[in-house]
Structure 1
Amino acid sequence: MTSPKKILGISGSLRAESHNTALLRAAQKFSTGLEIEIYDGLREIPPYDFDLDTPAQRPAVVADLRERITAADGLLIATPEFNYSIPGVLKNAIDWVSTDWTKTEGLPLHRKPVAIMGAAPTQFGSVRAQLALRQVFVWTESDVVVKPEVIAFRSHERFDENGDLVDDTTIDLLTGLLTALTAKIDAR
């Protein structure tokens, strides 16, 4: 029996009852062969500061995130859409983990398998945010899953009052995304 693949899940939403965080919990529930840890330190990450972006000076929360990403077999990101793009807190975290100015520690996101999904109360969901995030991952040379796309639009209709995903179509898309992420990891 093979050990489960380690996935770090990151929600781009800080809201306590976020449907994006609920999507990550659903991924934990419906995954097979994956051990999904949901990262909860996004709120503590300070604004990116080039002057502090060295192994010796990085804030501890940033060093921890870099270590978690490096140790993970893949990433699963659930993003809402703010102003037609990625939430600032999520982009800020990616900025901190996308560098190696000293050329001594490696790039945590380089070739890292990444799956993206999102939930939103609107009809268009997180489509533009996911597109913007894919563009960021071109620069980091991450290995992004492109299909299936998981866009839980009108998300209030897809989750019950306990925050559990109950929409069969979204569950099918989510399990397909996890299968595709697993295939990317296995192909490494």
Structure 2
Amino acid sequence: MGLSQMTTEGQEKTTTLWVLLDVSNCMRGATIESARNVLQQYVLSQLMMSGLKISLITFGNTASLLTDEPLAIEEFQLPEEFTIGGMCNLSDALSLCNNLIAQDDKILLLTKGYTTDSYGNQNHILDNDCHVVMLDSSSNRVPVTLSSYFSGRLKVYNMKEESLKELSVNLKCVIK
């Protein structure tokens, strides 16, 4: 699958990486800093000059789109701070994403993995490839609360360095 594809109108379509970042209560302190480090070191710096676009959605009690439109990865800046609080309402983030995402776009979900909403809501299941970073975890197992949201390929990474390096390699591969 190519990073850029021709549309029926002959225009080039660029793949977007949709970053869904959990900002619920469980992300306070070191966990949100771990998420920021993963994004900086293993995603943004590794994908520079790839032609990839990126869009950021945060979610706690509700979801917020922090980028008005997908940005070239070279133009994207992580916010200095995130407002942390509330429950982990992943279905709200997926609902927002579902209205904007294209078929070939990819998802990167950064979370502790324990959603508090009613998971498996059929209106919010996405079939895009999803890469999940389980923050503060050494397991590569997919929590049931997450797997019920995705019908496409779901790949989980833990916070071990070798797992995060694999994330970088896999993201590079799926966007080429």
Which position in structure 2 is the counterpart of 1:64? 96
* Structure 1 residue 78 displacement after superposition: 1.9
Which position in structure 2 is the counterpart of 1:23? 38
Given candidates 1, 4, 7, the residue that maps to 2:17 is 7
Q: Flag structure 1 segments of 5+ consecutive residues without an equivalent.
A: 48-58, 81-85, 100-106, 154-166, 184-188
SS at match of 1:68: coil
Q: Which amino acid aligns with 2:172?
A: T
Q: Number of matched residues?
A: 133
Q: Flag structure 2 segments of 5+ consecutive residues without an equivalent.
A: 5-12, 64-85
Q: In 2, Cα distance between the equivalents of 1:108 and 1:70?
A: 14
Which position in structure 1 is the counterpart of 2:111? 79
Tell me if the contact between 1:13 and 1:20 (Cα under 8 Å) persists in the aligned partners: no
Tell me if the contact between 1:11 and 1:24 (Cα under 8 Å) persists in the aligned partners: no
The structure whose Rg is larger is 1
Q: In 2, Cα distance between the equivalents of 1:134 and 1:62?
A: 11
Q: Does 1:38 align with 2:31?
A: no
Q: In 1, Cα distance between the equivalents of 2:109 and 2:119?
A: 11
* Structure 1 residue 131 displacement after superposition: 4.5
1:111-164 deviation line (CA, Å, top 9, x unaligned) = 3121222231xxx52434x35366325xx422334xxx53214xxxxxxxxxxx
SS at match of 1:125: coil
Q: In 1, Cα distance between the equivalents of 2:115 and 2:56?
A: 19
TM-score normalised per structure 1: 0.51
Tell me if the contact between 1:118 and 1:150 (Cα under 8 Å) persists in the aligned partners: yes
- Whose strand fraction is larger, Structure 1's or Structure 2's? 2
Q: CA RMSD in A?
A: 3.9
Q: In 1, Cα distance between the equivalents of 2:174 and 2:118?
A: 21
* Structure 1 residue 62 displacement after superposition: 7.2
- Taking only the aligned residue pairs, the percentage that are identical comes to 10
* Structure 1 residue 75 displacement after superposition: 0.8
